[in-house]
Each structure stands twice: as structure tokens, then as C-alpha cells.
Amino acid sequence: MTTACLVVLTISLVLYLSATLLLQGHFLFRKSHWSAWGRNALTLGVGVHVMGLILHTAFSGLSPTTNLIFLLSLFIIAFLIAGLLLEGRAGARYLSLLLAPLAFLVLLYPMLMPVRFDDAESMLVRFPWLGVHLVVTLIGHVGFALAFGAAVIYLVQTRLLKKGRLNRYLPALDSSSHVTLFATGIGFSFFTLGLAMGIIWLFGAPGEYLGARDVKIWMALPTWLTYAGYLYLRGIRHQQSSRLTWLVIAGFVLAVVNLLGVRHDFESPTASILSLVSQAVSPS
């Protein structure tokens, strides 16, 4: 990343932290004007964040997908924009209370531990289809992240309801349930499309870049099956319960582990699954 880009991203990081503190302060201390300030800081942070990515693309001369900060930044921006729209139009109150700290932590990690994908630039130049697959899959993860937040709110409100009270600062059960289903459906659609594009690239690209035993490919299947099961039970069978909501949380955990914790093995496509798993979990 260029120096100008890092400076702008640092400003964005500070704005996300400020939004987190202001929104948390509003929730804890009932300071009404802090909520508006927090949302303004969050919105401004998104704008500054976009500016940082533009600077990186303009001055670095590198492909955007060769840097983890850029990839996670795209995820954060799409996540925040979708969350703020849901908060304003779907009645999901105080969703920004969860959005701000998540955005801060997700951006903080790669800035403290920068990672560069050494082979990504040349591969994406040769196979543009792979870049489209990457973007579409990340949009799917945005939907999963929003569904995860709504599912957590639903479980919290359900537990409070059993005690005879509800938190008036969080979305109602109906709203959180609707957002969970809607966001899961959108995320699942994009994730399925991205997964299909990845499989097409895997078997259609010339050369032995990835083998059929690649762990990251197989790890995507449990995620897909978990969300497919939830959508079948919730959307087709019209079931609704706290246990069913846990499927959304489990699916998101699987998706995050596969996205950030498991890497493709481009050097040894014929390695066994057990050896790849041992490499993924063993300390470096």
C-alpha cells in the first residue's frame, strides 16, 4: 500500500473507532445526540475509506487483489453500506451499534499484520474470471455477516422475552427475523454464484493451479449446505425457532474460518487433504 493510502485508511480507522465509542455511549448513557454523531462518523469513515482505495489503485500501479487490506476494505465498505440501508429502510434499529466495531476490528487486523498474495496478480491477469469470482463471493459474505448480526439480535431478544422483558434499543423479533432471512437469501445467492464460478475456473483453467483435494474448496461445501438447510427450513417449510437461527451463526463461523483461516495451496495441488489440514492448523 502507498503511504498516502495508509494515511487515509488510518483516518478511516479512527472514524470507525469514534463511531463505535459514540454509539456505545449513546446506548449506555442515553445521550441522544451521540447517536447522530456516531452515524455521521460512520458514514464519513466509509467515504474516507473509499478515497483510500482509490488512492491505492491510482498510485500503487498494482492489482487491487494483491493486497489483503484492499480485499477486506471492499468487504467492510459493502458491509457498512448494506447495513446502514437496512437500518434505515427495514426498521433494524441500532444495527450500526454492531457495524461500527466490526468495521474497526476487521480493518485493524490487516493494517497491523499486512499480508501480500504473491501469485495473485499474475493469475488474475491471466484469468479475469477468477477476479469476478472473488468479488461475487465477497458480496455473499457481506450478506452472511449481516444475517449473523441480525441472528445474534434475535437470540438476545428471545432470551430477554423469556425473562418477561425486551430491549427497546434493539430491533424487534419480527424485524430481526426478517433481516436474518433476507440477508441470508441475498448472501446465499451470491455465494452460490461465486462458488459455481470458482468451480468452473478450477476445471476450465489451463494448468495445475489447484487440485481437487484443495482444502479451501471442500471447506466451502459445509458453509453452502448449512445456509441451504436454513433457507429450506425457514423459507420453504416456514419454521422459525431459536435453534434454527443457530444455523445462521454456524454458517457464518464456517464462512469466516474458510475465508481467513484457510488458504489455497497453489504449489502442491496433489497433496492429500490430511497434509493440507495439518498445514492449515499447525502454528507457523
If you search the block for the grid coordinates 445474534, which residue do you land on? 152
Over residues 40-44, mean pLDDT: 93
Over residues 63-83, mean pLDDT: 77
Least confident range from 7-11, 43-47, 79-83, 269-273: namely 269-273
Least confident range from 5-9, 70-74, 112-116, 236-240: namely 112-116
φ/ψ (deg, to 5) at 73: -65, -40
Over residues 26-46, mean pLDDT: 84
Largest CA distance in the chain: 62
What's the rounded Cα separation, in Å, for the pair 63 and 247?
36
Residue 99: predicted pLDDT = 81
Angle at 243 between CA 238 and CA 249, to 5 degrees: 100
Angle at 78 between CA 154 and CA 219, to 5 degrees: 70
Over residues 92-112, mean pLDDT: 75
Residue 263: predicted pLDDT = 65
Indicate the average pLDDT of the chain.
Answer: 76
Residue 275: predicted pLDDT = 44
What's the rounded Cα separation, in Å, for the pair 52 and 73?
9
Residue 245: predicted pLDDT = 92
pLDDT over 90 for what percent of the chain? 16
Over residues 49-59, mean pLDDT: 84
Least confident range from 12-26, 77-91, 139-153: namely 77-91
Q: Helix crossing, 173-204 with 128-162: angle to 10°?
A: 160
How is the chain split into domains, by residue range? 1-111, 127-284
> pLDDT class for 58, splitting at 50, 70, 90?
confident
pLDDT digits (tens, 9 = 90+) for 254-281: 998 888 776 665 544 434 333 434 444 4
Residue 280: predicted pLDDT = 43
Over residues 69-74, mean pLDDT: 79
Residue 246: predicted pLDDT = 94
pLDDT digits (tens, 9 = 90+) for 207-242: 445 555 667 777 888 999 999 999 999 888 888 888
Over residues 75-93, mean pLDDT: 78
**Amino acid letter for position 112:** L
